[in-house]
Structure 1
Amino acid sequence: MNLKYKHSLLIICFAVLTLSACVTQKYEHPKVVTQNLYRDQNTTDTATIANLPWQNLFTDANLQTLIQQGLNENLDLKQAIERIKIAQASLQQSKSAFLPSLQGDVSVTDAKQSKAALNFPAGVNINLETQTYRAQLSTSWEADIWGKLSSAKRSAYASLLQTDAAKRAVQTQLIANIANTYYNLLALDKQLAITLQTIKSRTNNVATMKALKDGAKVNGAAVVQSEANLYAAEVTIPDLKRSIRETENALNILLARAPGSILRSDLDSQSAYSNLETGVSAQLLQNRPDVQAAEFSFRAAFENTNVAKTYFYPALTLTASGGLSSLQLKDFFNNSIFYNLIGGLTQPIFAKGQNKARLTTAQAQQQQAFYTFQQTLLTSGQEVSNALYAYQTATEKETTRAKQIASLTKAVDFTQELLRYSSATNYTDVLTSEQSLLAAQLSGVSDKLQKLQAVVNLYRALGGGWK
């Protein structure tokens, strides 16, 4: 290759790249505001529990087993993996668009003309039937002058990254769902145990009231009130058992298992993770898979807009075909070679508004994707703020709730003793204190559940569970 040819080739390549840059644009990360997303959390420390492996956050061995089973078998997660395969195939297809197509064709054609239609003079006798034997290869290649194929490939790659991020988002949500459902199951077990203990205590109260009635300490109203109080506790048992059964079934669905019992520990053995480091809100862009997926979706839409712009400019296409063609099969390989080579520019002039509509649609979809990205980021900040405050309020309630339960326990004991030995009280006082105690005990279980689930929700909101 001589120097003059090389110089000309470099000039042509530079011109093509310059023209392409004028049509398509280079992607840049969208500018979004990440300050104050956490509300009242202005830390500059980048340490965050999102970087913790889930095994370090959830130390219950039974819960760890359930989470691992979910990661192995969950059907939503498997569907997300299949979507990645689809995106990989699309990316491979977009890469292949840079290569020329190649087709093979073998045909035999039998044709017969009408003698009357040819209008030959009388006496002329010509064979009106012919056979043509043909074998050919054809190829076509489009030069990526304006960057259409490159932008399409980058769009496919962004879509692949989006499906991978979406899969990780499914994983973080799955871990959170399993943990939250597990803790909810333990809370129901605890509420059932408290209620059963209450029933046992109230059964003894009924016997006591009957003995006091026999001793003329109370009247018949106190006896029936004690019985009604017992029944009020007993009637909640079927609903608690139903909730436990439904929660077990829901947890099995997450594990892709048929309904069945769940091996578990108890609520009293659980302790909420306390070192709740959130990092800075800008880290959500790297840690939250759904935020990443939203940005990749915007990136794909951006490249689709680039593709739409290229349709306004001429396309350079080279086509070639060649092969063998003969009227006689015996002469098929003798002097029957043919070929043709065509290079052409196709400039759209009037396409019934298709190119303009394509560009307008792509630009609108790009803007929609940007708004979705912004919304996802704002939602993630809201979830972090809510989880932090839920943990804070649950912690604040712990001490007060413990004092409430202790006071109500004493109130029940005192009113029961007064009822036995003094006429200064009646069973209504006992009834009120017992009902208040049960409500406080059940609320205490809800408080601890709120605290445990707040940690789970914060971990997911920060983007933990996929690293």
Structure 2
Amino acid sequence: MSTSVRLGVISLSILLSACMVGPDYHRPELTTPVAFKHVEGWSFATPADEDTKGEWWRRYHDVELNQLVEKLNQGNQTVAQYEAQYRQAFALAQSSRGALWPQLTTSAGKTRAGQGTGSSTSSQAVQTSGIRTTYTATLNASWELDIWGRLRRTLEANQASADASAATLAAMRLSMQSELVQNYLQIRVMDQQKRLLSETVDTYKRVIQLTESQYKRGIVASADVAAATTQLKNAEAELVDLVWQRAQLENAIAVLIGEAPANFSLAETEAVPQLPEIPVSVPSQLLERRPDVAAAERSVMSANASIGVAKAAYYPSLSLSASGGYRSSTFNDWITMPNRYWSVGPQLAMTLFDGFQTKYGVKQSEASYDASVASYRQTVLTAFREVEDYLVALHTLGDESVLREQALAAAKQSLKQYTNQYRVGLIGFLDVVTAQTTALSAERTLLTLQQSRLINSVQLIAALGGGWEGLSVQD
């Protein structure tokens, strides 16, 4: 290659890289607070959704839960749907990259054509016809010079869309994992509630036996027996109610891991996973670890690049094309030098008038960009709110838990004293019923509170994009 040709190629490359119509991307401005309001030391800054977050569900130290999440990662059909959509977006981006390169096509064919020829005499026309066979072999080359950056902006938009699709896939996977973990934790707390109600039913049955014995001896009235029976049946009804609630959660887990509910069951256990330790201080790289925030920003990138694609329609397009091949009327001497042909030349095309379609196409792209910016800002604000909500909930529920434990201890002590007084006939059975109801309510409230704290911890981890793995934190 001669020096002049090389310089020409370099100059053309510089020209093509320099000319790109449309705005370059800049992250939309956001007004954000310096730190989270409800926890001193928590703050946020630049997102990093591609950072490794680790297997956050392992913080609950439950082997069966870990196995279920692994099954979800492999078998969840919603995740599979979004994974296929990402592959589709990725293929589109790769396809648009190919438009930057010259295009080569080839063809070979045989045609038979006939044409009528007329000759006339003084009295009549004699019509004759001829049939011609043609063999062709052609190689075509074309290259659209991306002078105004239309193809590069298209690639930029499609690549951003693919990245947004990847982030959406990560967001959906995180959502499914979060839902499964929450359902599992609820089931484990329900197992404790079921055990509590079963023990309560056994206790109430013994109370009925005691009350009936005292009634037969004339110590208490029949109303005491009726009250004890009412209390027992209410407890048994609540126990039955837990059965269908647990079954619904079990069915939900089956669907999440990609199995039919009829083929899945979760055995009861006595242990409830412990609340994970929430760090006291976390560095600022948190909220943009959230895949939904990343997806929203990459949608802004795509919309921004689409403005450049729309504006490029104002400018002419320049293509270089060349073709060559062989054409013959006989097969034997088809591919020979006398039958060769070729053509080469540039083509400049420009729309002179399109009824203002290009103008409003640009306006449409700009409006789409504004909408995506608003969506991005709303996504970030929602993320801030969710973290604040779950932080204040965890701390409030923690304080409430201490008070509820004290209330339960007092209720159990009160029940013990009332039961002893009833045995010796100092008080009526109604006082015992009230004490039993209060103690059961306090214990069930404490279990419900434990469930709420566990659920909020999962929601907080999900709101932070999957935890704080890989960050320098202070526990």
TM-score after normalising by structure 1: 0.90
Question: What is the CA distance between 1:302 and its match in structure 2?
Answer: 1.0
Q: Distance in 1 between matches of 2:405 and 2:375?
A: 44
Matched-pair contact (CA < 8 Å) for 1:24–1:146: no
Question: What is the CA distance between 1:65 and its match in structure 2?
Answer: 2.0
Question: What is the CA distance between 1:42 and its match in structure 2?
Answer: 5.0
Distance 1:125 1:376, change over 3 A: closer
Query: Quick one: which of 335, 338, 344 aligns to 1:333?
Result: 335
Distance 1:119 1:59, change over 3 A: farther
Q: How does 1:47-86 map to 2 (within 5 A)?
A: 51=53, 53-54=55-56, 57-86=59-88
Worse overlay, 337-346 or 194-203: 337-346
Matched-pair contact (CA < 8 Å) for 1:38–1:281: no
Letter in 2 for 1:464: G
Q: Distance in 1 between matches of 2:89 and 2:419?
A: 71
Q: Distance in 2 between matches of 1:248 and 1:120?
A: 97
Question: What is the CA distance between 1:180 and its match in structure 2?
Answer: 1.1
- CA RMSD in angstroms comes to 2.9
Q: Secondary structure at the match of 1:270?
A: coil
Question: What is the CA distance between 1:129 and its match in structure 2?
Answer: 2.5
Matched-pair contact (CA < 8 Å) for 2:114–2:130: yes
Q: Distance in 2 between matches of 1:46 and 1:350?
A: 50
Query: Quick one: which of 93, 98, 101 aligns to 2:100?
Result: 98
Q: Distance in 2 between matches of 1:434 and 1:445?
A: 17
Letter in 2 for 1:319: S
Worse overlay, 103-112 or 439-448: 103-112
Q: Secondary structure at the match of 1:114?
A: strand
Question: What is the CA distance between 1:456 and its match in structure 2?
Answer: 1.4
Deviations 1:12-43 (A, max 9, x none): 5555544x24x233222222223257334452
Aligned residue for 1:39? 37
Distance 1:172 1:304, change over 3 A: same
Aligned residue for 2:464? 462
Structure 1 stretches lacking a partner, 5+ long: none
Question: What is the CA distance between 1:377 and its match in structure 2?
Answer: 0.9
Identical residues among aligned pairs (%): 24
Query: Quick one: which of 384, 387, 390 aligns to 1:387?
Result: 390
Aligned residue for 1:318? 320
Q: Does 1:252 align with 2:254?
A: yes
Structure 2 stretches lacking a partner, 5+ long: 471-475
Query: Quick one: which of 141, 154, 166 aligns to 1:152?
Result: 154
Aligned residue for 1:201? 203
Q: Distance in 2 between matches of 1:2 and 1:62?
A: 70
Question: What is the CA distance between 1:120 and its match in structure 2?
Answer: 7.8
Matched-pair contact (CA < 8 Å) for 1:35–1:282: no
Distance 1:172 1:264, change over 3 A: farther
Query: Quick one: which of 306, 309, 312 aligns to 2:308?
Result: 306
Q: Distance in 1 between matches of 2:17 and 2:457?
A: 52
Q: Secondary structure at the match of 1:463?
A: coil
Aligned residue for 1:414? 417
Q: Which runs of 4+ in 1 moved over 4 A?
A: 1-18, 44-53, 118-127
Query: Quick one: which of 255, 272, 277 aligns to 1:274?
Result: 277
Question: What is the CA distance between 1:291 and its match in structure 2?
Answer: 0.8
Letter in 2 for 1:30: P
Question: What is the CA distance between 1:44 and its match in structure 2?
Answer: 6.2
Worse overlay, 214-223 or 273-282: 273-282
Q: Distance in 2 between matches of 1:80 and 1:94?
A: 21
Aligned residue for 1:349? 352
Distance 1:11 1:179, change over 3 A: closer
Q: How does 1:277-296 map to 2 (within 5 A)?
A: 277=280, 279=282, 283-285=286-288, 287-296=289-298
Deviations 1:433-456 (A, max 9, x none): 222222221111011111112221
Query: Quick one: which of 266, 275, 298 aligns to 1:262?
Result: 266
Aligned residue for 2:22? 24
Distance 1:183 1:44, change over 3 A: closer
Q: Does 1:131 align with 2:133?
A: yes
Distance 1:16 1:166, change over 3 A: closer
Aligned residue for 2:473? none
Q: Secondary structure at the match of 1:25?
A: coil
Distance 1:249 1:438, change over 3 A: same
Aligned residue for 2:381? 378
Distance 1:37 1:377, change over 3 A: farther
Q: Distance in 2 between matches of 1:177 and 1:297?
A: 26
Question: What is the CA distance between 1:356 and its match in structure 2?
Answer: 2.2
TM-score after normalising by structure 2: 0.88
Worse overlay, 288-297 or 273-282: 273-282
Question: What is the CA distance between 1:219 and its match in structure 2?
Answer: 0.9
Deviations 1:215-257 (A, max 9, x none): 2221111111111111111112222111112211211222112
